[in-house]
Amino acid sequence: MELKGHQIIIFGLPRFDAPIESANYTTAKLLARENEVYYIENPFTLRDFFTLRKTPEYQLRKEYFSPTRHSLIETDIPNLKVIIPPILLPVNFLPENGMFRTVLKFNEFLIRAKLKSILQAHKIRDYIFINSSNFHYPTVIDGLTPRLKVYHCLDSTTLPFNHRHEVVSEDILVKQSDVVICSSKKVYEEKKRQNPYSYFVANAADLGHSSKALNPDLPVYPAIAALKKPVIGYLGEIGRRMDYDLLQKVILSNPDKSFAFVGPVSGEFVPDWFSTAENVHFPGPIGHDDRPAVIKGFDVALIPFKKNEENDSAFPLNLFEYMGAGKPVVATDFNPDLKEFTKGAVSFCENAGGFSEAINTALQTDNAEQRKTRVTIAAENTWENRVDAIADILHYHLEEVIQP
C-alpha cells in the first residue's frame, strides 16, 4: 500500500457495528493500517429514532447525535474513529421530485454542519473523502474542499425505495467525483462512460476469519451440528436476491439433505413453502465471530441468486468466505464475472437440474486437494489485496493526476 499518512473520511452505507460484515467498513479498517480514518455511518432518521430508541444501538449513539458536538466514537483500531451524523428527516418515501431534493438538501446541510465542526475541532484539512456506496447523499460535501473526492460504487441495493432515487443521485456522484471505484465489471463499464477515472476492484473476503473453519478444534455452530447430514448451507441475507423457484425444485428433489439458510430473513420476499418445507432450516441471524463455525458445518455451500439485471453485477462476500473455509460452492450463473475469479473451482449452474447434480457431485468427490485449491484461490481475493489496490489508485491520483 503506497497510500500512507493521509487523513481519510469515509461516508458508508452500513453502520459500524452492523452484525453483517460489510465491504464499506472493512475498507475503512484496512485503510486505517497506514492512514488516519474517520468513518461516517449511515444517519438515523426520525423514523429510526422512534423504532430504535430503546435498543442498545440507539443508546450507544445518543450522546453523539448533536449537530454541534464534535466528539468521536473510538474503535479497537487506533487509527479508526466513527462519526455519528445528526438525526435526519425521513425522505426516501417521497417521489423523485423537487420536494424530495429540497428536503434532501436540508438533510445534507445537517450532516455537513456536523462534519465542518469535526474538521475544525480535529484539525482535519488535507483529506480524502470517500463516499462508500452511500448514494442517498450525493452532494453532502458541496462547499467543502477535500483533496480527492472518491465514489466507491458497490453492488446496487435492490430495495424499491432505493431505485426510486438511485439513478439521479448516483449520476450526480459519479460525475462530481475525481475517482470512481466499482466492484463489478458491468458497473465499471457503465461508469467509465460517465467518468474516465473509473476503475474495477472486485469485492473479496476476510480470509483470516473464514479460514478459522479449517481448525479441527473449532466446534461446529450448535444449530448446524444438530442437523441431519449432509448439510447444504447458505450464509447471508435471505431475501430478494434468492431464486426461490430454483430452490423449490432443488429442495424437493433432495429430501435426504438438510438445507440450512443462516441469516436475517426478509419475510416479504420469502414464499410460504420455503418456511414450511421439512428439510429447510432457519437458524436465524448470527454474529460475525460465529461465521466460521457455521460454514464449518456445511458440506456444500450455496449462492442461489436469481439470474436477472439486479444480480448480474453482484459480487457476494460469502463466495470467497466459503472458499477460504475450503468448502465446495454451488451457485447459479447470475454474474459471469465470477468465473474469472474462481478459476473453475466453483460450479455455476443454469437450472435446477444442474444445481442438484452439482451438489451431489460435490458431496461424492470433495477431497483434500480440492479444498487446498479453493483456499489458494481465496487467498488471491482477500480484502487486504483489494484495499491495497484501492489505495494504489488513490495514491496515483494524488501524486500523478492532481499534484502536477
What's the domain count of the chain? 2
* 293 three-class SS: helix
The reply to whether 179 and 277 lie within a common domain is no
The reply to whether 219 and 365 lie within a common domain is yes
The reply to whether 183 and 227 lie within a common domain is no
> Is 12 part of any domain?
yes
> Is 104 part of any domain?
yes
The reply to whether 175 and 219 lie within a common domain is no
> Is 2 part of any domain?
no
Q: Which amino acid is at 128?
A: I
Please give the model's pTM, rounded to 2 decimal places.
Answer: 0.84
- Give CA–CA dist 12/103, Å, rounded: 20
The reply to whether 213 and 189 lie within a common domain is no
> Is 1 part of any domain?
no
- Give CA–CA dist 339/343, Å, rounded: 6
Domain that holds residue 218: 207-379
The reply to whether 133 and 176 lie within a common domain is yes
Q: What is the pLDDT along the chain (404 residues), one digit of tens a residue?
A: 689 999 999 999 888 888 777 889 999 999 999 999 999 999 999 999 999 989 999 999 999 998 888 899 999 999 999 999 999 999 888 888 889 899 999 999 999 999 999 999 999 999 999 999 999 999 999 999 999 999 999 865 544 555 667 778 889 999 999 999 998 888 899 999 999 999 999 888 788 888 999 999 999 999 999 999 999 999 999 998 999 999 999 999 999 999 999 999 988 888 989 888 899 999 999 988 899 999 999 999 999 999 998 888 888 889 999 999 999 999 999 998 899 899 999 999 999 999 999 999 999 999 999 999 999 999 998 999 999 999 999 999 998 877 65
- Give CA–CA dist 254/242, Å, rounded: 18
Which CA distances in Å does 205 have to 202, 210, 249, 312, 368?
A: 10, 8, 30, 19, 21
Note whether 224 and 231 are within 8 A (CB). yes
β-pairing, 347-349 vs 231-235, is unpaired
- Give CA–CA dist 32/11, Å, rounded: 14
Note whether 81 and 64 are within 8 A (CB). no
The reply to whether 16 and 55 lie within a common domain is yes
The reply to whether 143 and 168 lie within a common domain is yes
The reply to whether 320 and 299 lie within a common domain is yes
The reply to whether 239 and 165 lie within a common domain is no
| Run of H or E including 164 | helix 160-176
The reply to whether 186 and 325 lie within a common domain is no
Residue 9 CA, distance from chain mean position: 18
- Give CA–CA dist 189/64, Å, rounded: 40
Note whether 74 and 39 are within 8 A (CB). no
Q: Give the CATH number, domain containing residue 343.
A: 3.40.50.2000
Q: Which three cell numbers stand for residue 62?
A: 445518543
| Run of H or E including 106 | helix 98-121
Which CA distances in Å does 90 have to 44, 48, 50?
A: 9, 9, 12
Task: Answer left, alpha or beta for residue 69, where phi above 0 means left and psi between -120 and 50 means alpha.
Answer: beta
- Give CA–CA dist 294/224, Å, rounded: 7
The reply to whether 274 and 263 lie within a common domain is yes
